[in-house]
Amino acid sequence: MKVFLFVLSFILILFGASIWYYRASPSGSSPLSFFSQKNTDSGNKDGSVLSGKTQPENYKTLEVVEGTTGKWDVGQKRVFFAVAKTGTGGSVSVSGNWSLSDDTVGKIDSKDGTETTMTASKEGKVILFLSYQDLKAEKQINVGGAVLGSNVFPSPTLSPTIKPPSETAAPTATPTSLRVLTVNIYDPDGRRMSVGDQRNFQAKVVMSDGKEKVVDVDWSLSGDLGTLSRVHASNTDFKALKMGNGSLIATYQGVSASLSLQVN
């Protein structure tokens, strides 16, 4: 009799524990499923699957593009744009890190972004540095003096192909007496654009002899407003894809011009 009561008590305790587990389980699993439950999760502890990160595009060079050219006097402001170029010749506005070699000559309003504005504080030479991923570029600035050029450093991940002397084309001779004074961008319409509009822009340069001529320039955009049909030509078609403000930039032999774009 004692043995029967002991076995009956054990069965009742086991059955009560099963009922308690069934009520406490959020999934409503079988009362005895805790004896055979297995961990079948894969990936993260929360059951999610780890996904790989998209690798950034490899750009060939980075360039500091100056929105306005010419002599720069104390107190004036100028905008500089960060432009990366691909191996196929395309130009893309990127968000980089900005810094100055001497903060007493000028001040920049932003140390990161697709552009920065520098205010000249005093006459003198200063270097504007730009870095993006593993690329670097710098712009030499001479406040109160002659206009200086830019230095562009190729990506260390891309090794240029060196040709034998017999295969290397001889450099094209250019007149040393002529130099580029300004780059002009012509907007034939001259009005605001709407999303979906497409407009053609043409670039011309003024040389030191005072003559204006049509040349192939490098086109780029500041602000993700749309697309360009050509990135190296005398003209390009801009198609507006979204509303906002940005700039169309034309660069020729280190001299750049910028035209404001407004899409409604």
CATH of the domain at 119: 2.60.40
Does 186 lie in the same domain as 137?
no
Specify whether 135 is located in the same domain as 71: yes
User: Higher model confidence: residue 138 or residue 169?
Assistant: 138
Assess contact for 151 and 138: CB atoms under 8 A: yes
Report pLDDT digits (tens) over 155-183.
444 334 444 444 444 444 444 567 888 88
The answer to whether residue 241 sits within a structural domain is yes
Domain boundary, last residue among 155, 188, 215? 155
Distances (CA, A) of 172 to 169, 185, 216, 218, 232: 9, 26, 16, 19, 19
- Domain membership flag for residue 198: yes
Q: Specify whether 261 is located in the same domain as 190.
A: yes
pTM exceeding the 0.75 threshold for the entire prediction: no
Kindly state whether residue 119 falls inside one of the protein's structural domains. yes
Name the residue type at position 250: A
Backbone conformation region of residue 47, classed left if phi is above 0, alpha if psi is from -120 to 50, else beta: left
Is 258 part of any domain?
yes
183 and 139 co-located in one domain: no
Range of the domain at 97: 58-155
Asked if residue 139 belongs to a domain, the reply is: yes
Tokens for 76, please give them: 């004036």
Does 196 fall in a domain?
Answer: yes
| Total domains, the chain | 2
Domain boundary among 91, 120, 155: 155
Rounded distance, CA 228 to CA 237, Å?
Answer: 6
Give the neighbor-by-neighbor strand order of the sheet with 150-153: 112-113, 96-100, 124-132, 135-143, 150-153
* Percentage of the residues of the chain whose pLDDT score is greater than 70: 65
What are residue 81's DSSP bridge partners? 65, 115
Are the C-beta atoms of 148 and 142 separated by less than 8 Å?
A: yes
Q: Are 251 and 217 in contact (CB under 8 A)?
A: yes
For residue 73, pLDDT over 60 is answered with yes
